[in-house]
Amino acid sequence: MASKLEALQHWVNDVAALTRPAHIHWCDGSDTEYQSLVRQMLADGTLIELNQQTHPGCYLHRSNPSDVARVEQLTLVCHPEQEDAGPNNHWMAPADAHAKIDALFDGCMEGRTMYVIPYCMGPIDSPLSRCGVEITDSPYVVANMKIMTRMGAAAQARIEREAAFVKGLHSTGELDPERRWIMHFPAEKSIKSYGSGYGGNALLGKKCHALRIASNQAREEGWLAEHMLIVGIENPQGETHYIAAAFPSACGKTNLAMLIPPEGYRRDGWKVWTVGDDICWMHPGKDGRLYAINPEAGFFGVAPGTSNSTNPNALKSVSHDTIFTNVAVTADNQPWWDGLPGEPVTDWQGRPYDPANGPAAHPNSRFTVSAKQCPTWSEKAEAPQGVPISAIVFGGRRPSLLPLVMEACDWTHGVLMGAAMGSETTAAATGAVGVLRRDSMAMKPFCGYHYGDYFAHWLALDKAGAKLPKIFHVNWFRKGADGKFLWPGFGENLRVLEWMIERVKGTARGVQTPIGTLPARNELKLDGLALKPGQIDELLAVDNAGWQTEIEAIGEYLESFSPRLPERLRQERQRVADALDADATSPRTATA
């Protein structure tokens, strides 16, 4: 039987025969290699040097204007049977998919260098981590993978030792939207991506491996691969509770992961620790708790809106050794986007800035930076055993109906909360912005198999001996009659997280409602907040009639996954509907 290295070498040889590169480079992940790639990209214009006095080690990449976000309609999950992909995924038969994309790969690397990138998703020595190899013709992808993963010689050594890795093949091709596909083959643990250089389509360790392929691995192996941040909240007594939270892209995950406590909380000794901002792998431990790792080593964050007032930790993180993508620049060659001081002179396409051409920085412009540069980075992010999760939080952009915070009655109700998640769409994916869509567990673009089976997998974790986290739902985005946000958000969200931790510890009683447990009067600490009279009441109001309509809509959505919808979830939705009906004669409002 061939050793793992031989199997890897055979695959590399096969890819080289198909793509016919001029050179093959096996990446070692060294700083010397990274600097060599940067010099090469500066020379050919792939990267542009930014102001090295204000932003040392920082560079700008401008992508093709047709290649600026994930393309869900061109992203396929190719299970052998279409039913296993589910209505939440686009599908093509594996043989047809391979034939279609391999025809595009045929000779596509002629005159180019083929890079072989061994990488590890998660701490290099963690039993919870999983490895992969990406083959690409993009030095920009190599540089980003160096930041975003544990890439190079140590990963290759683990691959040789374990004889297991996910295969990822990528080429920028001609960057033609008509010749662009991102294909996943879960049964083969392989990915093929052609015609895009954008992060989520080209950095195959990220959404492709760490969510779409890993979610299948997780189902097979009994763990969860989720689109979640991981944040540690340390109270004045020195206790740290770790929270995993799922929000659709551009809905504040990075801000919450790097939260700065309000002044009063800082004075009292509260601290926030950043473990991850986007992806979370959770494994049941021997003690029945869920333990989480962040499979990534860096942040691929949305730049617009990141400022000193919204996320100073992110801004400090990107002050050096960062790759910026599709941001604008100022007269003195500093990166710029909405939320920063100064004036842009050149837009994200390299044109003199003219408001008539749209925003100076693309709404989905990004920064790629090592997580260790974050001032709140936690050393626990490298802990091989992961961190124990006390609470799981779901949330999205809902201008009405959804209260500021509510706790699920139990695990099944929490799975329903996650399955029912809805949010207004953002610029992180192509298509209309501001449209309400259901996005269960914030995984709609990333779940690598049928959502009905995915819900069943979540439910299956609730078994004898399990000590599962409490589940909550938050809505930072509820608006008043004047159209303005009712809750200040950002650092003030710690007030809500504190209530969750008190619920975990059993020190907050809460108020029971048909939709879950809400904070009781005076349980949310609001000192120092300039809230108008009645504002917190509105934030925590339960509109029974509105919820009856919502629960019906949730039922219709869930039935779209029949016949694989778990009966247990259907029954739970009916339980909530019955509780709302019973409560309709005396609608209640939880107040702080």
Q: Find the helix or strand (DSSP H, E) in which 368 lies.
A: strand 366-370
Annotated binding-site residue? 490: yes
Q: How far apart, in whole angstroms, are the C-alpha atoms of residue 280 and residue 430?
A: 24
Annotated binding-site residue? 251: yes
List residues bridging with 77 in a β-sheet. 184
Q: How far is CA 441 from CA 360, 403, 578, in A?
A: 32, 18, 24
Output the six-digit token pair for 386: 């992961």
208, 197 Cβ separation under 8 angstroms: no
10 Å CB burial of residue 2 (0-12, 13-18, 19+) is: exposed
User: What is the DSSP-derived secondary structure letter of residue 311?
Assistant: -
Annotated binding-site residue? 200: yes
User: CA angle at residue 435 from 584 to 304, to 5 degrees?
Assistant: 120
Annotated binding-site residue? 467: no
10 Å CB burial of residue 576 (0-12, 13-18, 19+) is: buried
User: CA angle at residue 236 from 235 to 240, to 5 degrees?
Assistant: 30
Which own/partner contact pairs does 5-13 have at CB distance under 8 Å and 24+ positions apart?
A: 5/159, 5/160, 7/163, 8/133, 8/159, 8/160, 8/165, 11/133, 11/167, 12/116, 12/135
Annotated binding-site residue? 449: no
Output the six-digit token pair for 373: 């540069």
Residue 251 known to be catalytic: yes
Q: Which of 108, 251, 280, 374 is catalytic?
A: 251
> Exposure string (b/e) for 230-261, b if CB count within 10 Å is 16 or more?
bbbbbbeeeebbbbbbbbbbbbbbbbbbbbbb
Q: How far apart, in whole angstroms, are the C-alpha atoms of residue 277 and residue 275?
A: 7
Peptide bond into 563 cis (omega under 30): yes
HSE-CB for 179 with a 13 A CA cutoff: 13
Q: How far apart, in whole angstroms, are the C-alpha atoms of residue 479 and residue 539?
A: 9
Annotated binding-site residue? 254: yes
> Residue 539 carries which side chain, given as an amino acid letter?
L
75, 85 Cβ separation under 8 angstroms: no
Annotated binding-site residue? 227: yes
| Chain Cα centroid distance, residue 10 | 33
Residue 555 contacts by C-beta under 8 Å, 6 or more apart in sequence? Answer: 570, 573, 577
Annotated binding-site residue? 167: no
Q: How far is CA 391 from CA 150, 192, 536, 580, in A?
A: 27, 35, 23, 26
453 three-state secondary structure: helix
Annotated binding-site residue? 61: no
574, 414 Cβ separation under 8 angstroms: no
Q: How far apart, in whole angstroms, are the C-alpha atoms of residue 105 and residue 159?
A: 25
> Exposure string (b/e) for 509-518, b if CB count within 10 Å is 16 or more?
ebbebbbbbb
Annotated binding-site residue? 252: yes
Binding site for GTP, residues? 250-255, 366, 397, 490-493
Active site residues: 251
Binding site, residues? 70, 198-200, 207, 227, 249-255, 278, 364-366, 397, 490-493
Binding site for substrate, residues? 70, 198-200, 249, 364-366
Binding site for Mn(2+), residues? 207, 227, 278
